[in-house]
């Protein structure tokens, strides 16, 4: 089973710049994390952008959508900042069909000892192999469908959100 | 969705004893790992034993089987040493029905910086939520059904094994 | 031999706030680091402030000087941000006599896997036990006297600075 | 100031072999640790042996003594297993003059998250720069002269030992 991973940045990949004392992006840690997880999967990793998700624009989302559409793999993991992960998931759900797309990220940079990144990557790669076509967010050990998830900014946790109006939906 | 976790020891939970220079078992690191992964799941963790899986006896397997049978949860993750994980998976497959049971472990102790444990736990918790009833091994980012998996002792990787069609199987 | 440690903040003690994505100060990591180093020294740790050293004011330096003067211990380690560590060292050298005072810090927060903090703390605690009365900066495995050190902002390294023989010194 | 580092193995450098589940020696972690400490010292690192100090023989000690005698540097750090560090220190004290030699090690392998190795290396490199000629053990944040130290096997701590008989000695 071929899996495509698109890297878009986010907390996952933030590094500490010891000269400025600021967090910044360098190369993605995905390859190192996959080695650490001893993952034996057919993965293709491609970095689309390295940005803080608070700065993700519609143009960026268009790039992500295009790459998902054009990918020959039908199973795709996207690493993404958590702040606007839900927005990107919804844009993908509205624009890409017939693929299983799982977005994941981290609350703490991978390079920080206390990161949830490796755990989340393990769960995202598992969900993408087992869930039917659709767009999902994989965080906190769970998966959420793109239209029924929000990030709780008080707790930092992702949680289910019941869609308020529109036609009913069963799952 | 309720998930039961049974801890049985294995490399996962080995610690370094600084007085003797040997690896040993103390308490399980599962609660700490679940906190680190910021998992927001309804988990019940129960330690059945803390042993090296090379020392797992048939009596130990019987204990594991009994606990899986009696668990009210239909989704169960078992942390287990990798050396005889396949044997325990097969014993479970022969004796427990109608539950999704996922065995996982680690090649390197969690407390060692380079452990695959957190990645594997993330993937096991994801697989147990999405796979149909059956017994599985979750290692190397993949899942294997209990009757079609072996540990390759040269590479340390788990791989698919085509069941031979004769009745006997030696390994 | 009694050693006093004054904590003033700095990169050493910065934490990652997973809700805001910013670095911030909480409690000092000094006690944890001393445990990790299995240090068996008579230490008294006291937190004077928890600030980024770019924000250290003259009033803050006055507090540090007062505490060094009043300490009953004649050997003192101060953890301090690296950006203005030299300025604080010079203020101490001009105002405290007959004590061995060693300032140290870190280029990367202790909680980041790649921190130099533990190494620097080990060296500062060794220097404070062996150097004669005076004020020193302990960074990069070396010690520098307060009047002959500067931080090279290009490399992030501390280096010796020959004092110019005129009265004025600009930096 | 030139400093020579001789690597002899010990817990410091033990790695976890994920195929056998045993601890073993591969390359020394010293270069990596020195990079992490951002040490800016003139160091020459040389690996003499990679052994568990419980297995150190008189012939091994002879090799260490010869290398210390022949080293052009007058300041030498030796990484060594803690179990027989004191014995090697005494053999050196009896055979090498006019050099400052500091032995250090670790209670927990560097690759284990909870290692004291980086702290000890920082302190050993500081002590070797500041102590007069002699042979010392640097552990637990302190230094001990070779003839007045023992490892307490109950606590794992090094402590001063008053020499019982023989002529009096002042320090």
This complex has an ipTM of: 0.94
Contact status, residue B8 vs residue B87, Cβ threshold 8 Å: no
The DSSP-derived string for B94-111 is HH--S-EEEEE--SS-TT
Mark out chain D residues that contact chain C at CB-CB < 8 A. 33-34, 36-41, 107, 114-116, 118-127, 129-131, 138-143, 156-159
- Chain C contact set for D138 (CB, 8 A): 126
Residue of A169 and B124 predicted with greater confidence: B124
Coil vs helix vs strand at A13 = helix
Average pLDDT over residues C75-101: 97
Query: What pLDDT is recorded for position B112?
Result: 86
Give every CB contact of residue B162 below 8 A, 6+ residues apart in sequence: B148
Query: What pLDDT is recorded for position A169?
Result: 44
Which of A152-166, B33-47, D112-126 is predicted least confidently? Answer: A152-166
**For chain D, what is the total number of helices (H) and then of strands (E)?**
4, 10
Residue D74 has pLDDT above 90, yes or no: yes
Query: Are the Cβ atoms of B108 and D156 closer than 8 angstroms?
Result: no
Residue D163 has pLDDT above 90, yes or no: no
Query: Are the Cβ atoms of A141 and B37 closer than 8 angstroms?
Result: yes
Residue with tokens 């690759």: D111
Query: What pLDDT is recorded for position C28?
Result: 94
- Chain B contact set for D19 (CB, 8 A): 153-154, 156
The predicted-structure confidence for A103-138, as pLDDT tens digits, reads as follows: 999 999 998 878 999 999 999 999 999 999 999 999
Separation CA D22–CA A92 (nearest Å): 47
Which chains have 3+ CB pairs within 8 A of A?
Answer: B, C
Query: Are the Cβ atoms of B122 and A118 closer than 8 angstroms?
Result: yes
Average pLDDT over residues C56-70: 98
Query: What pLDDT is recorded for position A163?
Result: 64
The predicted-structure confidence for D35-44, as pLDDT tens digits, reads as follows: 999 999 999 9
Average pLDDT over residues A142-158: 96
For B157, the token pair is 């990787």
Query: Are the Cβ atoms of C156 and A21 closer than 8 angstroms?
Result: no
Coil vs helix vs strand at C142 = strand
Separation CA D78–CA D127 (nearest Å): 12
Query: What pLDDT is recorded for position D171?
Result: 41
Query: What pLDDT is recorded for position C168?
Result: 46
Average pLDDT over residues A16-25: 92
* pLDDT confidence band for D164 (50 / 70 / 90): low
Separation CA A106–CA A139 (nearest Å): 8
Contact status, residue D162 vs residue D148, Cβ threshold 8 Å: yes
Contact status, residue C150 vs residue C158, Cβ threshold 8 Å: yes
Q: A142 forms bridges with which residues in the sheet?
A: A139
Contact status, residue D128 vs residue D76, Cβ threshold 8 Å: yes
In which residue ranges of chain B is pLDDT below 70? 163-171
Average pLDDT over residues A91-101: 97
Where in chain D does DSSP place strands (E)?
2-9, 14-17, 22-25, 42-51, 75-79, 100-104, 134-139, 142-145, 149-151, 158-160
Average pLDDT, chain A: 93
* pLDDT confidence band for C164 (50 / 70 / 90): low
Sign of CA dihedral A73, A75, A80, A86: positive
Q: D138 forms bridges with which residues in the sheet?
A: D143
Among chain B residues, the shortest Cα distance to D155 is held by: B19
Residue with tokens 């020394």: D28
- Chain C contact set for A109 (CB, 8 A): 16
Identify the residue among B75, B110, B119 best suited for mutation to test binding to A, counting A beta carbons within 10 A and taking the highest.
B119
Residue A170 has pLDDT above 90, yes or no: no
Query: Are the Cβ atoms of B111 and D107 closer than 8 angstroms?
Result: no
How many Å lie between the alpha carbon of D34 and the closest alpha carbon of chain C? 9
Among chain D residues, the shortest Cα distance to B52 is held by: D21
Sign of CA dihedral A90, A96, A98, A100: negative
Residue C136 has pLDDT above 60, yes or no: yes
Coil vs helix vs strand at B60 = helix
Among chain B residues, the shortest Cα distance to A160 is held by: B40
Identify the residue among A9, A13, A18 best suited for mutation to test binding to C, counting C beta carbons within 10 A and taking the highest.
A18
Count of CA atoms in the C-beta half-sphere (13 A) of D94:
9
Query: Are the Cβ atoms of C112 and A108 closer than 8 angstroms?
Result: no
Residue C166 has pLDDT above 90, yes or no: no
Which chains have 3+ CB pairs within 8 A of B?
Answer: A, D
The percentage of residues in chain A with a pLDDT greater than 70, rounded to a whole number, is: 95
């Amino acid at each position: 089973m071929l899996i495509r991973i698109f890297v878009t940045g986010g907390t996952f990949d933030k590094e500490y710049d010891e000269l400025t004392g600021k967090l910044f992006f360098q190369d993605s840690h995905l390859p190192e994390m996959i080695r650490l997880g001893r993952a034996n999967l057919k993965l293709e990793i491609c970095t689309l952008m390295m940005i803080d998700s608070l700065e993700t624009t519609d143009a960026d989302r268009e790039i992500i959508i295009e790459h998902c559409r054009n990918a020959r793999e039908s199973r795709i993991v996207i690493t993404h900042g958590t702040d606007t992960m839900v927005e990107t998931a919804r844009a993908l759900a509205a624009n890409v069909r017939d693929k299983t797309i799982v977005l994941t990220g981290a609350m703490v940079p991978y390079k920080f000892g206390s990161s949830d990144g490796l755990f989340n990557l393990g769960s995202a790669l598992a969900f993408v192999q087992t869930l039917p076509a659709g767009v999902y967010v994989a965080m906190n050990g769970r998966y959420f469908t793109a239209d029924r998830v929000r990030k709780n900014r008080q707790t930092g946790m992702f949680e289910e959100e019941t869609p308020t109006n529109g036609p009913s939906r069963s799952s």
